[in-house]
Amino acid sequence: MTILALETSCDETAAAVVADGRAALSSVVASQVEAHKIYGGVVPEIASRMHVEAISGVTQEALRQAGLTLADIGAIAVTHAPGLVGALLVGVNFAKGLAYAAGKPLIPVHHLRAHVAANYLTYPELAPPFLALVVSGGHTHIVEVAGYTDFRVLGRTRDDAAGEALDKTARLLGLPYPGGLHLDKLGQGGDPKAYQFPRPKVSGSPYDFSFSGLKTAALNQLKQLRIADCELRIDFAASFQHAVADYLCGNTLRAAADHGHTKIVLAGGVCANSVLRAEMSRRCGALGLALYLPEPCYCGDNAAMVAAQGYYEQPAGRAAGLALNALPGLGIDAASDHAK
Ligand code: KG4
Ligand code: ZN
């Protein structure tokens, strides 16, 4: 089945057409980064307004690039959770209108499940069960994916997400939004061991994270440095990313060993990070584990991943009615209450 999907949970307006959950026929992303850059982060009202302006054109372009019309589409998938509520509502309402007008089923998709599904586009052979590390701007989860719609969270951050820690540290170094990406570029060739950062243990949960301690350690160390010194900044960027990657890999691989997983899947915007990709590849190689990394174009927010997950959500009885709402705080493992 060919699915048209829409994604508007944060600051990218995206539409895509995907065949049978695996083959992307088109993937169009209109980024709002330039508009939010001057504020140093996403401004929700601006995000919603820009989604309204872009969504129709982006959807038409996705159909055009796929060489299809709405009549060729089997179902319409949309990100309905989690994210900025005003931003989510633009996609949800547009998708509802489209589904109603064209007489197509409407499939609500969880944004973090979609990030995991980005891997199905890159690896046609990949199937659950596996262990996923989901690292985005707002979430950090270690998730057991027992089936395409069967998720169990084993570990999560207790405070900041990994992406947030990278973005805030980048900001301390004077880098523009989105910080994680610029930190990655700055740290190339730097010494990853030049500065030390903690790997906080969270009591009562062996796989949980606390990234606020790393962020505070970065702030305290930076106060004592001459921030304008180029070499120092490069080493600092490399060391901080090394600490984040080491912390993420350590907990994930401990969870994999304890729960008998041999397939590790990375997902979310932060998995574009070159240090994390290299560190996880090295460790999985040494342990004989299979590692799946989405192509860079499917790491950040896009709609192809929403279509990929939507393909598997529909047989799970999740076609929604026109009462579908945006659910900004819905967990990846939550049973949806919107099914017909
Ligand atoms: O998944 P995503 O695009 O949006 C959310 O769902 O949150 O993730 C955005 C996050 C931001 O924190 C951004 O700085 C980070 O992904 N990011 C990176 C890189 N590219 C994007 N972090 C580190 N290295 C990168 N290359
Ligand atoms: Zn995302």
Decide whether any atom of ligand 1 lies within 6 Å of the 300 Cβ: yes
> In terms of domains, do 20 and 132 share one?
no
Whole-angstrom Cα distance, residue 206 to residue 131?
Answer: 15
Residue 128 phi, psi (nearest 5): -65, 160
Distances, alpha carbon 285 to alpha carbons 168, 279, 280, in Å? 31, 10, 8
Q: How far, in Å, from the CA of 194 to the mean position of ligand 2?
A: 31
Whole-angstrom Cα distance, residue 111 to residue 84?
Answer: 11
Positions in the chain short of pLDDT 50: 337-340
> In terms of domains, do 144 and 286 share one?
yes
> In terms of domains, do 19 and 149 share one?
no
pTM reported for the whole predicted model = 0.96
Mutate to test the pocket of ligand 1, among 166, 182, 188, 274 (most ligand atoms within 8 A of CB): 166
Measuring from atom 11 of ligand 1, which residue has the nearest CA?
137
Domain count, the chain: 2
> In terms of domains, do 84 and 187 share one?
no
CATH number of the domain where residue 58 is located: 3.30.420.40
Domain that includes residue 79, residue range = 2-116+300-339
> In terms of domains, do 321 and 183 share one?
no
Nearest to 267 by CA among 131, 133, 128, 121: 133
Instruction: Please report whether residue 322 resides in a domain.
Output: yes
Instruction: Please report whether residue 52 resides in a domain.
Output: yes
Measuring from atom 16 of ligand 1, which residue has the nearest CA?
269
Measuring from atom 6 of ligand 1, which residue has the nearest CA?
136
- Per-residue pLDDT reduced to its tens digit, 158-210: 999 999 999 999 999 999 999 999 999 999 999 999 999 999 999 999 999 99
Report pLDDT for 318: 67
Strand partners, 131: 144, 264
> In terms of domains, do 165 and 267 share one?
yes
Measuring from atom 24 of ligand 1, which residue has the nearest CA?
273
Instruction: Please report whether residue 316 resides in a domain.
Output: yes
Atom number, ligand 1, closest to the C-alpha of residue 274: 26
Measuring from atom 14 of ligand 1, which residue has the nearest CA?
180
Decide whether any atom of ligand 1 lies within 6 Å of the 273 Cβ: yes
Decide whether any atom of ligand 1 lies within 6 Å of the 10 Cβ: yes
Atom number, ligand 1, closest to the C-alpha of residue 83: 6
Report pLDDT for 314: 85
Atom number, ligand 1, closest to the C-alpha of residue 111: 6
> In terms of domains, do 192 and 321 share one?
no
Report pLDDT for 232: 85
Instruction: Please report whether residue 121 resides in a domain.
Output: no
Decide whether any atom of ligand 1 lies within 6 Å of the 108 Cβ: no
Among the bound ligands, the one closest to the CA of 163: 1
Instruction: Please report whether residue 252 resides in a domain.
Output: yes
Report pLDDT for 228: 66
Mutate to test the pocket of ligand 1, among 10, 84, 136 (most ligand atoms within 8 A of CB): 136
Which pairing describes strands 2-7 and 12-19: parallel, antiparallel, or unpaired? antiparallel
Would you say 18 and 25 are in contact if contact means Cβ atoms under 8 Å apart? yes
Instruction: Please report whether residue 152 resides in a domain.
Output: yes
Mutate to test the pocket of ligand 1, among 135, 244, 266, 270 (most ligand atoms within 8 A of CB): 270
> In terms of domains, do 235 and 251 share one?
yes
Long-range contact set of residues 145-152: C-beta below 8 Å, sequence gap at least 24? 145/116, 145/265, 148/309, 148/312, 148/313, 148/316, 149/113, 149/312, 149/313, 149/316, 149/318, 151/113, 151/332, 151/333, 152/333
Report pLDDT for 339: 40
Decide whether any atom of ligand 1 lies within 6 Å of the 187 Cβ: no
Instruction: Please report whether residue 334 resides in a domain.
Output: yes
> In terms of domains, do 59 and 162 share one?
no
Decide whether any atom of ligand 1 lies within 6 Å of the 137 Cβ: yes
> In terms of domains, do 291 and 305 share one?
no
> In terms of domains, do 183 and 230 share one?
yes
Give the tokens for residue 124: 């046609």
Q: How far, in Å, from the CA of 323 to the mean position of ligand 1?
A: 31
Instruction: Please report whether residue 146 resides in a domain.
Output: yes
Decide whether any atom of ligand 1 lies within 6 Å of the 12 Cβ: no
Residue 271 phi, psi (nearest 5): -75, 0
Output DSSP code: residue 204. Answer: T
Whole-angstrom Cα distance, residue 10 to residue 90?
Answer: 11
> In terms of domains, do 145 and 281 share one?
yes
